[in-house]
């Protein structure tokens, strides 16, 4: 979660610097913003990714390269779908109850994020209109971290 982005950016930056333009978009998590118990390795990696992205933003900005993170809460992916079914079995409740009573207790918007929503934000960050967004972490969490 941290080493792979580092290696990819390390290889991509020289060409971006040559071109005088580039966009780096790291997929972080709301756990890059806040901590939760029992997830120390994941949270450490996401906090590291956030710091790495900001450092690249500072170094690359003068050369036309922006670096940002997208920090979503639960995205409807196969991994999350498996987590839902595992939690349902563990707690002896329905999958709908897992989503409602475990995963979506904090956000004001009570649904999972669709992968297309994350993709659309990433595409926007590559547009000329987003050229001044640099060193940011764009949180997609339905206001879960607004507390």
List active site positions.
42
DSSP state of 142: T
In 10 A of CB 117, how many CB atoms? 15
Phi, psi of 73 (to 5 degrees): -85, -140
User: Tokens standing for 93?
Assistant: 């409740």
Is the separation of the CB atoms in 67 and 135 below 8 Å? Answer: yes
Q: Is 90 helix (H, G, I), strand (E, B) or coil?
A: helix
**Alpha carbon 69 to its chain's center:** 6
């Amino acid at each position: 979660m941290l080493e792979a982005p580092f290696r990819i950016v390390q290889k991509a930056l020289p060409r971006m610097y040559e071109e005088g333009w580039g966009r780096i978009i790291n997929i972080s998590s709301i756990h890059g913003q806040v901590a939760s118990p029992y997830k120390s390795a994941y949270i450490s990696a996401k906090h590291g990714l956030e710091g790495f992205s900001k450092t690249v933003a500072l170094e690359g900005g003068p050369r036309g390269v922006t670096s940002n993170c997208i920090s979503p809460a639960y995205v409807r992916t196969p991994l999350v779908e498996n987590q839902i079914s595992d939690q349902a079995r563990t707690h002896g409740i329905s999958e709908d109850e897992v989503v409602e009573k475990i995963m979506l207790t904090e956000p004001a918007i009570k649904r999972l994020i669709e992968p297309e929503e994350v993709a659309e934000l990433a595409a926007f960050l590559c547009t000329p209109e987003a050229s001044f967004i640099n060193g940011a972490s764009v949180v997609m969490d339905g206001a879960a971290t607004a507390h």
